[in-house]
Amino acid sequence: MPVFFLSHGGGPWPYVDDMKQQYATTEREFKALPARLPARPKAVLVITGHWESDVFTVSTAERPPMEYDYSGFPSHTYRIQYPAPGSPQLAQRVRALLEGAGIETGEDARRGFDHGTFVPLGLMYPDADVPVVLLSMKSSYDPREHIRVGQALQPLRDEGVLIIGSGLTYHNMRGFGRDESTPVAEAFGNYLDSAIEQSDGAVRDRMLAEWESAPGARLAHPREDHLIPLMVVAGAAGADKGTAVFVDHVMKVPMASYAFGG
């Protein structure tokens, strides 16, 4: 399986008419992602920018609930359902791989699908018939530690599991829609593109670990919760070179999604 980093957009946008028009490119491209896979995945492992914990924590629910972790949206967006099953078996496999690499883990039987999960997967697999497991970030946000987690998870790719990091390449809530944010997002995006496209995985991982040295880094990500899932994906990519699958432009900033391998 390839591995994906997806810029998932703002809130429950596919369920809000005005926003859906803004994200027309993202909608089209998310729907096309399954065709890039060599086979239908047995399960999906999502590292979402909306879940962090003191240790890397895996969701174990057989029927995960919903997490409406947004505010100010129409009332119907708090009744969205994405009834994909969980996979306790995959959850235990993830824990075994991480613990085998010396990485402390936990589990959460109550964690459900936030919009960083149900938005892309709802477009990729609208029938909600592919099992989904979530893996939290660690609240330290150490990029090297998250790359190491991805490296430990590489065997899943040969076991039919699709690994997705869900976040954004630009995530400054005060910057969206402002003219001055465009050059910031472009400069930081260019740095990410350069890192992702490296033919040497070690060089790529070093550049990503040193992301704060990039132009506009802290203006693009005052808090790096939506960037850190990319570190896990890069680690899982191993030696596979990455490429931008597409770039959408919304609220005056570019938002890129990447694929590695496959």
DSSP string spanning 113-139?
Answer: B-HHHHHHHHHH-TT--S-EEEEEEET
pLDDT higher than threshold 90 for residue 262: no
Residue range 221-242, pLDDT digits in tens: 999 999 999 999 999 999 999 9
Residue 257: the pLDDT is: 98
pTM score of the predicted model? 0.98
Q: Give the separation between CA 81 and CA 249, rounded to whole angstroms.
A: 27
* Mean pLDDT value across residues 152-179: 98
Does residue 211 register a pLDDT over 90?
yes
- Classify residue 177 as left (phi > 0), alpha (psi -120 to 50) or beta: left
Residue with token string 């465009």: 182
Give the model confidence (pLDDT) of 116-151 as tens digits. 999 999 999 999 999 999 999 999 999 999 999 999
Supply 157's token pair. Answer: 């790719």
Average pLDDT over the chain, rounded to an integer: 98
- Cβ-based neighbours of 180, under 8 Å, separated by 6 or more: none
Q: How confident is the model at residue 110 (pLDDT cuts 50, 70, 90)?
A: very high
Total number of domains constituting the chain? 1
- The boundaries of the domain holding residue 148 are 3-260
d(C-alpha 147, C-alpha 149), whole Å? 5
CATH number at residue 46: 3.40.830.10
Task: Output the pLDDT for position 32.
Answer: 98
